[in-house]
A = this chain, B = another copy of it.
Amino acid sequence: MVRIKKGPSKTVSIEDVARLAGVSITTVSRVINKLPSVKEKNRLKVQDAIKQLKFQPSVFAQRLATGRSNVVMLVVPRYEGIFYSFYALELIRGIGTLCDSLKLDLLFHLTDARASLNFRGTNGVIFADIIGNRAQLEEALAQGLACVVINNYVEDLEVDCVAVDNIKGAESAVNYLISLGHKKIAHISGDLVTQAAAHRLEGYRRSLKKNNIPVNDGYIFKTDYSRGQARAAAEKLITMPDPPSAVFVASDSMALEVMTVLREQGKQVPRDLSIVGFDDNPSGLYGPVALTTVRQPLIKMAEEGVKRLSALMEPKKKPKIEKTLLATELVIRESCQPLA
């Protein structure tokens, strides 16, 4: 057989190691993969050679040969709003950190909803919310890939998901306001294309209904989560003929904007308006009046998602589908007061 080695190949391969160590490449492979069946003496020789040559196995060759890999793809819908939210960073942070410690390669994919993704070479996919990109999820599922959806409770698909219980969270906020004697409670909602916003609105409605308070659609302000629209909503709200005495806002950053508007207008929080936010964004702590809010466990959601995915990626087992709903927690601070 003719060896056609062309020039000094830069990359040292398993073969070079084998030659230097005086063993077969198989033995080297065994050492790399920590298989027990290698004589101590040989193992040392090989490890020595590896060190000398600074050999690092080619992941591509490994993956080609084994067919497996531990590449996790994080699919983030390219939705403007998602990137102006406190939550995106927290999620990325949580996912990034855990992948790092689990030795998973994180492929980050900021995607157009209609683009068709190439999952080849990926073993698991985490969808950070589903906003108009359900088709991509279905595609991944159809390919038999391990999938986990985060921040969106997907009921009608056989897929694992871990989300926050936005409905109950919103209910707890509104219940609290009601317990303080408020009846005229407004809601500034987020972008209703997101499930989170829709559920928070739903929770708001439910709480009112359960407490026999009629839902006044004039008290519901729809926004895109931006501070600008929150401001507009706040301005409308305070100039209403019959203004609400309390408001539940779908995000802390919007709630803070509402507080700002109030202050500008010479009004006081919570004297003139009780406010509850959603997120537990640290920014809520700083203003003159600390924000009462609904804490959502973002980091935990991210971690749960990754853990779940890595379980699904385990070659042998085929765990049951699990749909997790994480509880929120009402954090009472200073932005609400009982109705006089």
Q: Which A residues fall within an 8 A CB radius of B?
A: 10-11, 56-61, 63-64, 67, 69, 74, 76, 78, 83-84, 88-89, 92-93, 96-97, 99-100, 105-112, 118-121, 144, 227-228, 231, 253, 257, 260, 263-264, 282-283, 285-288
- For A78, the chain B residues whose CB sits under 8 A away are 97
Which of chain B's residues have a CB closer than 8 A to the CB of A283?
227, 253
Nearest Cβ in chain B — how far from A148, in angstroms?
Answer: 17
Contact B109 A109 (CB under 8 A): no
Inter-chain CA distance A120–B55, complex, in Å, is 10
Q: A64-B64, A227-B286, A288-B260 are in contact. Are A108 and B107 (CB under 8 A)?
A: yes
Taking A96-B108, A105-B107, A228-B285 as known contacts, 7 extra A-B pairs with beta carbons closer than 8 A to each other, sorted by chain A number, are: A56-B118, A58-B120, A59-B121, A83-B93, A97-B110, A99-B110, A260-B287
Q: A111 with B120: in contact, given A10-B144, A60-B64, A263-B263 (CB under 8 Å)?
A: no
Q: How far is the CB of A294 from chain B (nearest CB, A)?
A: 20
Q: How many copies does the complex hold?
A: 2
Q: What 3 A-B pairs are tightest by C-beta distance, nearest first?
A: A96-B110, A59-B121, A108-B108
Task: List chain B residues, Cβ under 8 A from A227.
Answer: 282-283, 286
Whether A111 contacts B100 in the complex (CB less than 8 A), given A83-B89, A88-B89, A121-B58, comes out as: yes
Residues of chain B within 8 A (CB-CB) of A93 are 83, 110
Look across to chain B and name the residue whose beta carbon is closest to the beta carbon of A63.
B60
21 intermolecular pairs with C-beta atoms under 8 Å apart: A10-B144, A11-B67, A58-B121, A59-B118, A59-B120, A59-B121, A60-B63, A61-B64, A64-B64, A74-B108, A78-B97, A83-B89, A84-B282, A93-B110, A100-B109, A106-B108, A106-B109, A107-B108, A260-B287, A260-B288, A264-B288
Q: What CA separation (Å) do A224 and B219 show in the bound complex?
A: 40
- In the complex, what residues of B have CB within 8 A of residue A144's CB? 10
